[in-house]
């Protein structure tokens, strides 16, 4: 089966960067050939496309390589944006990009050290948990004025940031759920309970270079996998 007309998406299901890319691709209805990778055994085709070896990566039919998750979101949505993620109910695209940059900068650094203190030769990630919580409280304050980060409907910022808040929350669910950020919890639960999240979290087998069939993403016939 030829796939010359389809972009190729290298992804890893639990990675928040890959998750945000899949959310935008699914929302944009931009069909791709999905290649789910095992990060400890990265396929050579991924490394040939993007030597840094991280996911997500998109290879377009004209051999353009897009290997930054936010760039993939914009690529998908600039072609087709039926839910108006790039045009928020309140604010501007640039304001959303600025908020996403805050998420991807200091907050992501705190999240990594909180979740994986051993990688940074830390005895505990508590200090960085508390640092990340400061930013989450800012999100909670923002969400007190509306159900989403930029108005009354979800937009790019919500979908780019929510996967990282989810990862933070899952590091210590009991601690996270005990925090007094009611608006943030409501927002996160709405994301986790959404049909779109269930759709992009379907579990696919790892891609093999010698496999005969391709996996098309998004697939309208998939059933959510119970392990989210």
Element (H, E) at 65: strand 65-66
What is the spatial distance between Cα 106 and Cα 135, in angstroms, rounded to a whole number? 9
What is the spatial distance between Cα 164 and Cα 170, in angstroms, rounded to a whole number? 10
What does the pLDDT read at residue 4? 56
Task: Look at 58-72, 100-114, 142-156, 209-223 and tell me which has the smallest mean pLDDT.
Answer: 209-223
What does the pLDDT read at residue 5? 85
Contact yes or no for 14/64 (Cβ under 8 A) = no
Q: Which of 166, 152, 151, 153 has the alpha carbon at shortest distance from 197?
A: 166
Residue 224 has pLDDT above 80, yes or no: no
Tell me the mean pLDDT in the region 96-122.
97
Task: Look at 2-11, 26-35, 131-140 and tell me which has the smallest mean pLDDT.
Answer: 2-11
Residue 27 has pLDDT above 50, yes or no: yes
Q: Which CATH class is domain 8-82+196-217?
A: alpha beta
DSSP 151: B
pTM for this model (two decimals)? 0.94
Contact yes or no for 192/167 (Cβ under 8 A) = no
Residue 228 has pLDDT above 60, yes or no: no
What is the spatial distance between Cα 154 and Cα 8, in angstroms, rounded to a whole number? 26
What does the pLDDT read at residue 222? 64
Residue 196 has pLDDT above 90, yes or no: yes
Architecture field, domain 93-193: Up-down Bundle (1.20)
Contact yes or no for 210/183 (Cβ under 8 A) = no
Tell me the mean pLDDT in the region 161-167.
98
SS3 118: helix
Residue 221 has pLDDT above 90, yes or no: no
Q: Which residues contact 76 (CB under 8 A, 6 or more apart)?
A: 21, 24, 25, 27, 28, 30
Q: Given phi > 0 = left and psi -120 to 50 = alpha, else beta, which region is 151?
A: left
Element (H, E) at 32: strand 32-36
Per domain, the residue ranges of the chain are 8-82+196-217, 93-193
């Amino acid at each position: 089966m030829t796939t010359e007309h389809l972009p190729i998406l290298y992804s890893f299901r639990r990675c928040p960067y890959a998750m945000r890319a899949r959310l935008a691709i699914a929302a944009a209805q931009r069909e791709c050939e999905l290649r789910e990778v095992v990060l400890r055994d990265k396929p050579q085709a991924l490394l040939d496309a993007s030597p840094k070896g991280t996911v997500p990566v998109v290879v377009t039919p004209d051999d353009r390589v897009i290997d930054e998750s936010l760039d993939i979101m914009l690529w998908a949505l600039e072609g087709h944006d039926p839910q108006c993620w790039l045009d928020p109910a309140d604010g501007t695209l640039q304001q959303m990009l600025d908020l996403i940059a805050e998420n991807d900068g200091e907050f992501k650094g705190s999240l990594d050290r909180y979740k994986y203190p051993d990688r940074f030769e830390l005895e505990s990630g508590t200090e960085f948990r508390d640092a990340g919580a400061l930013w989450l409280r800012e999100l909670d304050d923002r969400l007190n004025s509306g159900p989403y980060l930029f108005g009354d409907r979800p937009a790019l910022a919500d979908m780019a940031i929510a996967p990282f808040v989810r990862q933070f929350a899952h590091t210590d669910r009991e601690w996270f759920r005990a925090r007094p950020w009611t608006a943030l919890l409501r927002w996160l639960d709405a994301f986790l309970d959404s049909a779109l999240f269930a759709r992009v979290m379907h579990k696919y087998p790892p891609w093999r270079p010698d496999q005969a069939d391709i996996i098309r993403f998004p697939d309208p016939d998939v059933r959510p996998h119970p392990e989210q």
